[in-house]
Structure 1
Amino acid sequence: MSVQQVVFGFGAHTGIDDGPELLRTVQQADRDGLDIFSLSDHPYIGGRLDAYAAIGFILGGTRQIAGFANVSNLPSRPAPLLARAVTSLSALSGGRVVLGLGAGGLWDRISDLGVPRLSAGDAVDAFEEAIVLVKKLSGGGPPVTYRGRFYQVNQIEPAPVAAPPVWTGSVGPKSLAATGRVADGWIPGHAADWRSERYRQSRPVIDEAAAAVGRDPREIRTVYNFTGNITDRPLAATRDHTGRWLGGSVDQWIEELTGAVLEHDASGFILFSASGGAQDIVSVGRWANEIVPAVREAIAKDDRQTAGR
C-alpha cells in the first residue's frame, strides 16, 4: 500500500459557538498537511452547526484539506439533493469532499423532524439506493430516470462533476454487504479498530459482497475513527482490558498506526478526542506534526523496500 492511499484527519466538534475555533483548527490542520476533517451530522439538535453549511464554509477558508460529514444523516437528506450538495462542494473546492453516509440512527429524533420512520431493513435498502443514485447524478451524461423502492427520479440532468468517494458507517450485515456492492470506503462503527472483533467479523462481509458483483475488495478502503491520548511518556499499556486503544507516546502511536497499515491494510485514520468532546488544537498539532509524518515515512520506506525486492 503506497503512502498516497493512506489518509490522516481529525473529527471536529460542531457546536454553534465553536465556529471560530473550528475554523482555526481546520486551517492549522490544512497548513500542517492533514488530509481531511470530519463533522457529525445531527440536524435534530438545535445547538449544532449544520454539517454541510459548516463544511462549505470551512472549505472556503482552506486550500488542501478535504471535508466530510461523519456520517450524513441520510433520512433527513434525500439522495438527489445530497448529490447536488456534494457535487457542488466538489466543484467549488477542487474535489476536496468525501460523502460519508449512514442508513440512519436515532430514529426517534429523526422522526421528530417529520421524516417517515423506516424499518431497519428498509432503511438499509434506501441507503443502497441512495449511493447508486448519487453516483448516477454525478459525472455528466444523459438525464437520469431512476425507479427504486424509495427514490424515483425522472429525467434529471447529472452534475458535470464526478461523484466524491462514498464512505459508509455500516454496522449490520445487510448494510455491510451494501457497502461491498456500491461504496468506496467503510468506517467501522463504535470507533472499532483493526484489532477488534467487530472488524474481524464485519470486513469479510464487505469483501464477499464486493467479490460477488465483480469488484476488487481492495478498492474499498477502511478508514478508522480513532480515539486516544497523545502522552509525553510511554504508557505501560496502550490498550485497556477490552483491547480498546488508550493512546501513548508519539513513538507508540507511530508503531501502532504503521502496523495497522502494513499488517492490517488500514487506509485512513480520523483522530477524535479521547474525552468525546471538542478536539483541541494542541492535540491536532501534535498529531499532524509529530505522528502523521513519521507514519507516512515508515509506510513509504516499506514501499521502497518492497519495490526493491
Structure 2
Amino acid sequence: MTGDHGHDLMFGALLEPPADRPQDVLALAELMEAVGLDVVTLSDHPYWPERLDTMALLAAVVARTERITVMPNMANLPLRPPTTLARTAATLDILSGGRFELGLATGAQQMWDLIVAEGGPRRNAGESVEALEEAVRIIRALWTSESAVSFEGAHYQLAGVKPGPRPAHDLGIWLGAYQPRMLRLVGAVADGWVPSSPFLPPEHLPAANRVIDEAALEAGRSPGEVRRGYNIEGRFAPDSGSGSGSGFLDGPPRLWVEQLADLALSHGISAFFLYRAQSPDVIRQFAEEVAPAVRGIVAAERGSGAGPA
C-alpha cells in the first residue's frame, strides 16, 4: 500500500462559479489566498454556456492574487488542443511567477455528444487514453525542446512546430483518472493525480494507488514522483460528542482532521481540494480549523521517524 511520500501538504478548493455571478470566483480566490490556502482550482466544461471559460477565469485569478497556485481541475483535452494548452499554461505560469499547474483529463464519457457538437472528436475509452498520452508528450516537448517539434501520433500530428514559451518553473501535469488504463498512464507519465471522492471513495484509494505505483516502477520512476491529490466532498456538522460522524468528512472539524491526516500518512494524499466549494464560511473553516491541524499531525508523524514510504 502507498504510504506517505513526504510531499508538502497543499490545501485548496475546486470552484464552479455560474456565469451569472462572474465576480464570485474572483472573490472566493482572493478569500482563499487571504485565509492561507495554497491552491485555487476550476473545473472545465467548455460545452456548458452557463459556465465562464476556465482558462480566462484562471488568468483573472492570477491577476488578482499574489501567492496562491492556480490550476484547471481538469482541462478538457478534446476541446483544447495540446499546442494551445502548452502555450496557455506557460503564459499563465510566466504571468503568475510560477504559480500555475496544469490539470488535464480526457473528457467525461457522458459528455461526448456535447463535445462533438462543439467540433471536438468522438473517442472511445482506449482512444481517449492514447490521445491523453500523446498530449502530455507534446506539451512537455513544447515547454522544453531546443528545436522545432515534430510528432506523428494517432490523434495529433505536428510538423516542425516552434517550441515555447518556457514556463517560469518546472510546471507539473496532473491527470484525472479512475480506470486501470488511465491509472497506469498516471504512474508512467504524470506529475500528479487528482480523483474526486464522490467517484472514488477513500476505500478505493489503495487499489488505485497500487496500479499507479506499479506503473511508475515499470516506467523506471519512483512512485513518490507522482503527487496524489484528492477533490474531497464533505459537510461540517455539529460535534455529536460520540467521537465520530456519519461517514467520510461528515462531522465536526476534528473528524475532518483525523480522516485527512490518515489519507496523507496512509495513502500518500498531499493535496486536498474542497469539491465544488461555493461557501465562504466553509472555505474559512477548512483553512482555519482543518488545514493547520492536519499539517501538525503529519509533521509530528514524520518527525517521529515514520518517514516517507
- Amino acid in structure 2 at the alignment position of 1:164: L
Distance 1:37 1:132, change over 3 A: same
Tell me, yes or no, if the aligned pair for 1:75 and 1:115 is still in contact at 8 Å. Answer: yes
CA drift of 1:191 comes to 3.3
CA drift of 1:121 comes to 0.9
1:258 aligns with 2:261: yes
1:295 aligns with 2:302: no
Residue number in structure 1 paired with 2:270: 267
Tell me, yes or no, if the aligned pair for 2:9 and 2:271 is still in contact at 8 Å. Answer: yes
- Three-state SS of the structure 1 residue aligned to 2:269 is coil
Residue number in structure 2 paired with 1:202: 208
Listed one character per residue, the Cα deviations across residues 154-195 of structure 1 (whole Å, up to 9, x for unaligned) are: 222322225521111112222111111111111125535673
Trace 1:1-309 onto structure 2 (pairs within 5 A).
1=4, 5-105=8-108, 106-139=111-144, 141-159=146-164, 160-161=166-167, 162=169, 164-189=171-196, 191-192=198-199, 195-197=202-204, 199-234=205-240, 236=242, 237-240=244-247, 245-273=248-276, 279-306=278-305
- Amino acid in structure 1 at the alignment position of 2:255: Q
State the distance in 2 between where 1:178 and 1:157 align. Answer: 27
Distance 1:210 1:56, change over 3 A: same
State the distance in 1 between where 2:253 and 2:209 align. Answer: 28
Give the unaligned 5+ runs of structure 1: none
CA drift of 1:139 comes to 3.1
- Three-state SS of the structure 1 residue aligned to 2:25 is helix
Tell me, yes or no, if the aligned pair for 2:197 and 2:230 is still in contact at 8 Å. Answer: no
State the distance in 1 between where 2:234 and 2:188 align. Answer: 32
Question: What is the RMSD computed on CA atoms of the aligned residues?
Answer: 2.1
State the distance in 1 between where 2:86 and 2:194 align. Answer: 20
Normalised by the length of structure 1, the TM-score is 0.90
- Three-state SS of the structure 1 residue aligned to 2:21 is helix
Greater relative CO, 1 or 2 (CA 8 Å, sep 6+):
2
CA drift of 1:64 comes to 0.9
Give the unaligned 5+ runs of structure 2: none
CA drift of 1:99 comes to 1.0
Listed one character per residue, the Cα deviations across residues 97-125 of structure 1 (whole Å, up to 9, x for unaligned) are: 11111112111111110212122211110
Tell me, yes or no, if the aligned pair for 1:26 and 1:58 is still in contact at 8 Å. Answer: yes
- Amino acid in structure 1 at the alignment position of 2:189: V
CA drift of 1:307 comes to 8.2
Tell me, yes or no, if the aligned pair for 1:67 and 1:97 is still in contact at 8 Å. Answer: yes
State the distance in 1 between where 2:36 and 2:80 align. Answer: 31
- Three-state SS of the structure 2 residue aligned to 1:43 is coil
State the distance in 2 between where 1:259 and 1:203 align. Answer: 15
Distance 1:303 1:143, change over 3 A: same
Higher mean displacement: 210-219 or 11-20: 11-20
Listed one character per residue, the Cα deviations across residues 2-40 of structure 1 (whole Å, up to 9, x for unaligned) are: 876221101112211232122111101101111111111
State the distance in 2 between where 1:38 and 1:130 align. Answer: 21
- Three-state SS of the structure 2 residue aligned to 1:167 is strand
